[in-house]
């Protein structure tokens, strides 16, 4: 038997060995998705990457990362998994909707700012005779 502790929710779920992490979370009303994920998730096929979780303890009790995960999570920390691709074989502690994703959004904000400056420059040039 595998105990899955969802840290943010302060809940523990008991699962059979080999249980799918996403399915166990959904069956126990654990919210894996941000707003975007709620609207656009792929239903557990590993195509969207919206069910990201962070494993804080028990990584050795999970199935190895799949090729799908290696592609979707190549810029994420090694402790991140896609819940839909993860099988649980022993006790683990999981953080849903890990906050490091927010930090990546901030990193992406800088290029957007630069693009705005470039757009402004282009518009200025269009208005010039």
Q: Provide block-wise average pLDDT over 10 residues at a time, the chain (129 residues).
A: 95 96 96 89 92 97 96 95 97 91 38 39 44
Contact 34, 96 (CB under 8 A): no
The Cα 27–Cα 13 span in angstroms is 10
Question: pTM (2 decimals)?
Answer: 0.75
- Find the angle CA(51)-CA(55)-CA(56) to the nearest 5 degrees: 145
So what's the pLDDT on residue 99?
A: 81
pLDDT for residue 101: 41
DSSP letter for each residue of 58-98: -GGGBPPPPHHHHHHTTTS-TTEEEGGG-EE-S-EEEEES-
Hey, what are 82's tokens?
């896609």
List the Cα angle 93/95/96 in 5-degree steps: 130
Largest CA distance in the chain: 75
Question: Residue 37 has what pLDDT?
Answer: 87
d(C-alpha 69, C-alpha 5), whole Å: 22
Q: What is the pLDDT of residue 70?
A: 95
Instruction: Check residue 44 and report its DSSP letter.
Output: S
- Could you tell me which residues come within 8 angstroms of residue 24 by beta carbon, excluding any fewer than 6 positions away? 4, 13, 15, 30, 88
């Amino acid at each position: 038997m595998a105990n899955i502790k969802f840290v943010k929710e302060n809940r523990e779920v008991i699962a059979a060995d080999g249980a799918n992490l996403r399915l166990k979370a959904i069956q126990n009303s654990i919210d894996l998705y941000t707003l975007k994920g709620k609207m656009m998730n792929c239903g557990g096929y590993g195509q969207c990457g919206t069910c990201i979780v962070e494993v804080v303890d028990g990584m050795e009790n999970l199935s190895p990362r799949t090729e799908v995960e290696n592609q979707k999570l190549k810029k994420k920390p090694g402790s991140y998994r896609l819940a839909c691709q993860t099988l649980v074989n022993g006790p683990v502690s999981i953080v849903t909707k890990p906050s490091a994703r927010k930090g990546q959004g901030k990193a992406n904000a800088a290029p957007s700012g630069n693009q705005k400056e470039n757009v402004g420059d282009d518009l200025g040039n269009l208005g010039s005779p």
